[in-house]
Amino acid sequence: MKNLSRIYYRIRPFIPRSLAIEVRRLVVSARLRKFGDVWPIDPCASKPPPDWPGWPEGKRFALVLTHDVDTARGQDNVIKLARMEKEAGFISSFNFVCRRYPLSPGVFEFLKEQGFEIGVHGVYHDGKKFDCREEFLERASIINECLARWNSVGFRSPAMQRNMEWMHDLNIEYDASTFDTDPFEPQPDGACTIFPFLVTSADGTRSYVELPYTLPQDFTLFVMMRHRDTRIWKEKLDWLASMGGMVLVNTHPDYMSFGDRPLGKEEYPSGLYKDFLEYVRGEYEGQYWHCLPRDLARFARGWLSDGNNSRSSLEERASHHRKVGHDSTLPI
């Protein structure tokens, strides 16, 4: 998978975007037929961690809203999206790419004033961060500089590409580069859990909390699969609530349309996301702990210990996904 992904990113600038999207749709369609038994719900992911204390205040489940801002166009939509959430009674985090587009001080200031969280989403979003250790360390220094300058504690890797051991070199409290189940990602092996977990370094000296996203990404549903309703989101939400897990959403303002103009080829109406938020509030108000990812990570660290963590559970999850036959696909 690593070599395939590296080749893809080398040739991607020369592939017409429209062609790449159509090829990816064919891949997604094939993956959907193959992995329908573990997507969008993998029943094996519902087991709580050892000594699980439940959510604060006895809430039924946790709700965490996150957004990856991949492009300058996405950044232009950030304030619109944040206002939509605020008006609906929600708050979220936005992850920005360090050097792919000029960052807007006004957007950052607005988010901080309104109580939103800001995180880091890679340096260039080019798929090369994990090519080699030296390359990673060079980029890690840039990521750490942005974390400090933005007063941020969270990270999500572009295209969910990851080396969870290397990521201990990032000055983070949490990472959000995994998922419970998502066979459409370049590294499709899921964490196979709907709960946060601790990732400790091989020498036992460092650790961060891992927050897997648990709802399908908006790009997958609305751009790749061309859905025009939120049925899958709602069905997965209902299942997560019944299991007492973590509803962690990852959407992109890059693909949302906030106007009345015709939709672009990679856009979906922002009203779909609003519809989902209204469903959450209408069906489950008072039953969920709504928090920012940094707050959930700090809560999780309060009860997770090195003894309950990571290495054995991660190996078990990897083994499970080898059994169900997850393999690689190309990122877009």
Mean pLDDT on 108-135: 92
Helices (H) and strands (E) in the chain, counts: 11, 11
Provide the terminal-to-terminal Cα distance of the chain, rounded to the nearest Å. 14
pLDDT (tens digit, 9 = 90+) per residue, 4-43?
Answer: 555 555 666 667 777 777 777 887 888 888 888 999 999 9
As a whole-number percent, the residues of the chain with pLDDT over 90 amount to 74
As a whole-number percent, the residues of the chain with pLDDT over 70 amount to 87
Which domains can be identified in the chain, with CATH numbers? 2-11+37-48+59-258+265-323 (3.20.20.370)
What's the confidence (pLDDT) of residue 131? 76
What's the confidence (pLDDT) of residue 130? 78
What's the confidence (pLDDT) of residue 314? 47
What's the confidence (pLDDT) of residue 313? 45
What's the confidence (pLDDT) of residue 143? 98
- The CA distance from 329 to 130, in Å, is 17
196-226 burial code (b ≥16 CB/10 A, e <16):
bbbbbbeeeeebbbbbbbbbbbbbbbbbbbe
What's the confidence (pLDDT) of residue 326? 43
User: 178 falls in which pLDDT band (50, 70, 90)?
Assistant: very high
Q: Which residues pair with 179 in a beta bridge?
A: 213
